[in-house]
Amino acid sequence: MVISEQGYVHWQGTFIERRFPWWPITRLGIRLAFKRKFFKFVFSISLLPAVMFSTGVYISERLDDFQFMLKGQDRLLEVNPAFFKSYFTSEPLLFLMVMIMVLAGAGLICDDLKYNSLQLYFSRPLRKRDYVLGKMATVFFFLLILTLVPGLLFVLLKLIFAGSFKFLANYPWIPVSVIAFSLLVTLFFAFYTLLVSSLSKNRRYVSILLFLVYIFSNVFFGIFYSIFHNPYFCLLSIQCDIQQVGAAFFRQSPHYDVPWIYSFLVLAAICCLSAFVLKRKIRGVEVVK
Amino acid sequence: MTAVIQTKNLSKWYGNVLGLSDVSLEVEQGVTGLLGPNGAGKSTFLKLITGQIKPSIGHVAIQGQDVWNNYPLFGRIGFCPEQDAFYDEMTGWEFMTSLLSLYSFSRADVQSRAEKALDFVELAKDKDRLIRGYSRGMRQRLKLAQAVAHDPEIIILDEPLNGLDPLSKRKVIRLIKDYKEAGKTVIVSSHVLPEIEALTRTIILLHQGKILARGDIHYIRDLIDKHPHMISVKCSDPRRLASSLVGEPSVLNIQFGPAPDTVVFETQDRDKFFGLIPRLIVDHRIDVEEITSPDDNLQAVFDYLVGK
Amino acid sequence: MTMSHNAVRSIFSFFFFLGRKARKTKVFFLISGLPVLVALIIQINRLFAPGSGIDGPAIFSSVIMAFNLQFLILVLALFYGTSICSEELEGKTLTYLTTRPAAKSAIILGKYAAYAAFLVLMVAAAVILSFLILNVERVLDLSAWLAMIKALGVLALGLMCYMAFFTLVGTFLKKSILFGLFFSFGWENVVQYFPGSTQKFTIMHYLKSLLPAASTGSAGKLSFLTFKLEPSSAGAAVATLVILTAVFLGLACLVFSKKEYIFED
């Protein structure tokens, strides 16, 4: 081992460029999230819908045995596109995803802004896009565990419990929809989280905002819809927009009589706004006027 | 002389981390330097004597009164914390006047005191700028201003010279000496020996939460002087410089390198060595690029004192 | 615990001034102004579609007030209440306050009073504006004004009570926001629907007892704003809210005075 003297020592090694320079940032984000109090608890709770739906897949193959419990509600346990749509657009799941972001995502950029860490990041061979990608991948990691993994698991369980490929023969597009919708909803939430996280240096403020924007958008939709009875107000609600797009991805009729593409455009607009804000906010040197 | 600050068996631990261990001492009027490397327990000690944290064991009193939750006592104390923290959305002026209004001064008095303190730390012309726009040095000076603006009897300064430029440092040193002359009690912490040397002769050396040495700085200096010093000279002709110092009794060892233009001397009498060097450089017309003392830092002194 | 009124007043001025200047206050001011936007949209719609059957005053008393009561004041109280202690710790500025000749309880009370004052002003401005917009044809009706003032009083009482609770939470919990979210949108929004005496374990019960109109809105999409209220009497509700506020604040002062706060590095 070389023992260096105190002072500056010139690095004489050869620089090996990382293939995925964003990965250390992601790894750190995941590790820090698990270190937070209550995170493991909330994350475990957020897996409950997946456990319940998995049980549903099992029961769906043994309806005769569970008839005494179902009391004629067995149509709810048919594993079909509506089943997947129910899981992916269920209010509890979306709410728990927001809570996961409050815990694991709020500090992603805001803590770096608070502690002036951006200068440290960008003094390394790291581009802005690697930084953003690293932070996004942290959100991706957690949210894909709640969306993509259970979605594919439901398909797999259905095939195993049924002992045939009939399900896939009937709905060959389901795995693609599961992947596409999981990626879409995760991408949206990643942009949303990073947008809010980049707005302040105060984690508590960001946590409240993440929650507030999601809830208030839904409340205002409720208010306007009840007064005007116009379904287009559903575009105001993040939750409804996700549900509308989810319905389209799983070839179900949307809950509100509004073309799903409008909801998709609203979500895309939020992502674009986020990209714009992130481009302006993430820089090595803070300029104070 | 009566003790202004008294601690008895003062100990503090954070979970299983020891911050301060069994510190019993008395601080008298005048300037006392608190020296120690990072993590020695200086800030813990200062937080304990300013009543920000509770002792785990032991007792701390200022002017005979318990410190913890004794808020009337804080009117007599000025504290400059180590952390670089402010209400960033305030201007320097708002910060000063807001804090001064927590004392029972009249409105006019608050303003004149704020003005005087800001003027002293040379922030008068920047007083209306937001603190978040201040440089590190300006923030450090503002911290100092808030600690002295109410003219306290006891001033406790945690690393006050950090981040200051040489001119500002001189000014702060002058201010502290003025306070001493005015009969006040000042405690200054630092990990830089020359900074403390410039301020006072009374020091407390802390290491790993314990008092390592206490008293006159000359005593510490003597201890240090028994320990050979390394002095590195980077110059145009190191061999010539070395040959001129070979006969000097205070020089114990001479080594060349690590760079070809560098010579390292080991001496037991640092002051004498530094007295000789300028004359030799001039006499032999040697161009000197740099004179450094690789072990002239507090850690080296501590290592020596604890026998490492 | 002794403290001087001067200290409370000085802390009040300090944070009333600071709170007004803060960027986050501007954001929350905009958020609390959202009901005004809703009122405007409703009124403009009424102008262009006079036969739409939308009753402005009814919407004010059910929708706008329910939104303020069940969402807005909770969020504002949660953020500012927990901020009283947490922001000093997170920003490491607590030292500047605790090394002054002011009792620790004066710091809590002064800061609480400052934040409560400008939050009440913020909400009142939005409520009065919404009221004026939605009651434009009844602007001279004294009874409508009295109802609005009563509603405003209930909101102020709610804000103060919730803020006192969250101030207490902030003095002893580090993860006060997470707890606060579960309390506000879990406990308060669920237990209030329980029958019998159970609902009396929520602060919301006493607020809605004072403002029944806000809890009898139309069904359908607004059903999340309504619940089966078994109200307490007005006197009991006010007394309970005042006592709860005092108890929460007293406990917050006690915890803040006794507890030692160590900054995270």
Give B270→chain A minimum CA distance, Å: 21
Residue A190 lies in a domain: yes
Instruction: Give the pLDDT confidence score for residue C187 in this predicted structure.
Output: 85
**Amino acid at position A18, single letter:** R
Residue C265 lies in a domain: no
Q: Does C254 touch chain B (CB under 8 A)?
A: no
Contacts of A6 in chain B (CB under 8 A): 294
User: How far is it, in rounded angstroms, from Cα C57 to Cα C42?
Assistant: 11
pLDDT tens sequence across B5-53: 999 999 998 888 888 999 999 999 999 999 888 888 999 999 999 999 9
Residue of A nearest to B258 (CA): A5
pLDDT: is B295 or A183 the higher one? A183
Residue A9 lies in a domain: no
Collect all residues with Cβ–Cβ distance below 8 Å to C158 and sequence separation of at least 6.
C69, C73, C77, C203, C207, C241
Rounded to 5°, angle at Cα B190 from B186 and B193: 110
Q: Which domain holds residue C118?
A: 5-258
**Amino acid at position A271, single letter:** C
Mean pLDDT of C69-75: 91
Cα C50–chain centre separation: 35
Residue A272 lies in a domain: yes
Provide the ipTM. Answer: 0.84
Residue A15 lies in a domain: no
pLDDT band at C221 (very low <50, low <70, confident <90, very high): very low
Q: Do A5 and B132 touch (CB under 8 A)?
A: no
pLDDT band at C70 (very low <50, low <70, confident <90, very high): confident
Give the count of domains, chain C: 1
Instruction: Give the pLDDT confidence score for residue A73 in this predicted structure.
Output: 62
Rounded to 5°, angle at Cα C119 from C115 and C123: 175
**Amino acid at position B66, single letter:** D
User: How far is it, in rounded angstroms, from Cα B143 to Cα B128?
Assistant: 16
Instruction: Give the pLDDT confidence score for residue B302 in this predicted structure.
Output: 65
Q: Which domain holds residue A259?
A: 23-281
pLDDT band at A71 (very low <50, low <70, confident <90, very high): low
Q: Do C24 and A205 touch (CB under 8 A)?
A: yes
Considering just the CA atoms, what is the radius of gyration of chain B in Å? 23
Contacts of C83 in chain A (CB under 8 A): 204
pLDDT tens sequence across B68-123: 999 999 999 999 999 999 998 899 999 999 999 999 899 999 999 999 999 988 89
Instruction: Give the pLDDT confidence score for residue A95 in this predicted structure.
Output: 92
Mean pLDDT of B301-307: 65
Sequence-distant contacts of C232-239: CB under 8 A, at least 24 apart: C232/C200, C232/C205, C232/C206, C233/C209, C234/C209, C234/C210, C236/C206, C236/C209, C237/C206, C237/C207, C237/C209, C237/C210, C238/C157, C238/C206, C238/C210
Q: Which chains touch B (3 or more CB pairs under 8 A)?
A: A, C
Residue A7 lies in a domain: no
Average pLDDT of chain B is: 87
Instruction: Give the pLDDT confidence score for residue A88 in this predicted structure.
Output: 93
List B residues 244-273 in contact with A (Cβ-Cβ < 8 A).
258
Q: Does B247 touch chain C (CB under 8 A)?
A: no
Look-up: residue for tokens 């069994």?
A: B22
Concatenate the DSSP letters of all residues of A21-34 into one string. Answer: TTHHHHHHHHHHHH
Instruction: Give the pLDDT confidence score for residue C263 in this predicted structure.
Output: 86
Collect all residues with Cβ–Cβ distance below 8 Å to C223 and sequence separation of at least 6.
none
Closest by Cα among C96, C256, C99, C6 to B70: C99
User: How far is it, in rounded angstroms, from Cα C130 to Cα C38?
Assistant: 8
Q: Do C41 and A223 touch (CB under 8 A)?
A: no
- HSE at residue A24, side-chain half, CA atoms within 13 A, is 7
pLDDT tens sequence across C31-43: 999 889 988 888 8
User: How far is it, in rounded angstroms, from Cα B5 to Cα B61?
Assistant: 6
pLDDT tens sequence across A78-112: 888 899 999 999 999 999 999 999 999 999 999 99
**Amino acid at position C55, single letter:** D
pLDDT tens sequence across C156-191: 999 999 999 999 999 998 888 889 998 998 888 877
Tell me, letter by letter, the H, E, C secondary structure of chain C: CCCCHHHHHHHHHHHHHHHHHCHHHHHHHHHHCHHHHHHHHHHHHHHHCHHHCCCHHHHHHHHHHHHHHHHHHHHHHHHHHHHHHHHHHHCCCHHHHHCCCCCHHHHHHHHHHHHHHHHHHHHHHHHHHHHHHHCHHHCCCHHHHHHHHHHHHHHHHHHHHHHHHHHHHHHHCCCHHHHHHHHHHHHHHHHCCCCCCHHHHCHHHHHHHHCHHHHCCCCHHHHHHCCCCCCCCHHHHHHHHHHHHHHHHHHHHHHHHHCCCCCCC
Interface residues of chain A, partner chain B, Cβ below 8 Å: 5-6, 288-289
- Tell me: pLDDT of A2 over 60: no
**DSSP type of residue B91:** B
Q: Does C32 touch chain A (CB under 8 A)?
A: no
pLDDT band at C218 (very low <50, low <70, confident <90, very high): very low
Q: Do A289 and B133 touch (CB under 8 A)?
A: yes
Q: Which whole-number Å values give the CA distances from B15 to B18, C175, C258, in the listed order?
A: 8, 19, 18
Residue B263 has which token pair?
Answer: 């010579």
Q: Does C114 touch chain B (CB under 8 A)?
A: no
Please state the φ and ψ torsions of residue A176, each to the nearest 5 degrees: -65, -40
Instruction: Give the pLDDT confidence score for residue A285 in this predicted structure.
Output: 61
pLDDT: is A243 or B295 the higher one? A243
b/e per residue C165-187 (b: at least 16 CB within 10 A): bbbbbbbebebbbbbbbebbbee
Rounded to 5°, angle at Cα A156 from A61 and A243: 90
Give the pairing type, strands B262-267 and B57-62.
unpaired
**Amino acid at position A200, single letter:** S
pLDDT tens sequence across A14-40: 766 777 888 989 999 999 999 887 889
Residue A117 has which token pair?
Answer: 């860490």
Q: Do B103 and C14 touch (CB under 8 A)?
A: no
Q: At what angle do helices A260-281 and A107-114 cross, to 10 degrees?
A: 20
Residue A10 lies in a domain: no
Under a CB-based contact definition with an 8 Å cutoff, are residues A250 and A177 in contact?
yes
pLDDT band at A289 (very low <50, low <70, confident <90, very high): very low
Look-up: residue for tokens 């600690």?
A: B147
Q: Do B54 and C260 touch (CB under 8 A)?
A: yes
User: How far is it, in rounded angstroms, from Cα B27 to Cα B14?
Assistant: 25
Residue of A nearest to C40 (CA): A224
Closest by Cα among A237, A214, A233 to A224: A233
Mean pLDDT of B190-207: 86
- Tell me: pLDDT of A264 over 50: yes
- Tell me: pLDDT of A287 over 80: no
Alpha helices in chain B (DSSP H): 42-49, 92-100, 107-120, 136-148, 166-181, 193-199, 217-226, 238-245, 270-283, 298-305
Closest by Cα among A54, A99, A104, A102 to A79: A54
Closest by Cβ to C177, choosing from A200, A208, A215: A208
Residue of B nearest to C263 (CA): B83
Q: Do A226 and C220 touch (CB under 8 A)?
A: yes
Under a CB-based contact definition with an 8 Å cutoff, are residues B35 and B191 in contact?
yes
Closest by Cα among B110, B40, B44, B133 to B81: B44
Q: Does C173 touch chain A (CB under 8 A)?
A: no
Cis-peptide, bond into residue C212, ω within 30° of zero: no
**DSSP type of residue A18:** -
Lowest mean pLDDT among A119-133, B24-38, C217-231: C217-231
Under a CB-based contact definition with an 8 Å cutoff, are residues A282 and A132 in contact?
yes
Average pLDDT of chain C is: 86
Residue of B nearest to C96 (CA): B99
To the nearest 10°, report the CA torsion of A5, A6, A10, A14. 70
Closest by Cβ to A222, choosing from C52, C87, C221: C221
Total residue length of chain A: 289
Residue C190 lies in a domain: yes
Q: Is A7 left (phi over 0), alpha (psi -120 to 50) or beta?
A: left
Contacts of C13 in chain B (CB under 8 A): 98, 101
Q: Does C41 touch chain A (CB under 8 A)?
A: yes
Instruction: Give the pLDDT confidence score for residue C56 in this predicted structure.
Output: 73
Best mutation target among A6, A9, A116 (most B Cβ atoms within 10 Å) is A6
Q: Do C14 and B51 touch (CB under 8 A)?
A: no
Under a CB-based contact definition with an 8 Å cutoff, are residues B61 and C88 in contact?
no
Q: Does B77 touch chain C (CB under 8 A)?
A: yes
**Amino acid at position B91, single letter:** T
Closest by Cβ to C92, choosing from B74, B85, B90: B85
pLDDT tens sequence across B147-187: 999 999 999 999 999 888 888 888 889 888 888 888 899 99
Give the count of domains, chain A: 1
Instruction: Give the pLDDT confidence score for residue C224 in this predicted structure.
Output: 46
Instruction: Give the pLDDT confidence score for residue C229 in this predicted structure.
Output: 67
Contacts of A289 in chain B (CB under 8 A): 133
CB pairs < 8 Å spanning B and C: 75
Share of chain A above pLDDT 70, in %: 88
Collect all residues with Cβ–Cβ distance below 8 Å to B134 and sequence separation of at least 6.
B92, B126, B142
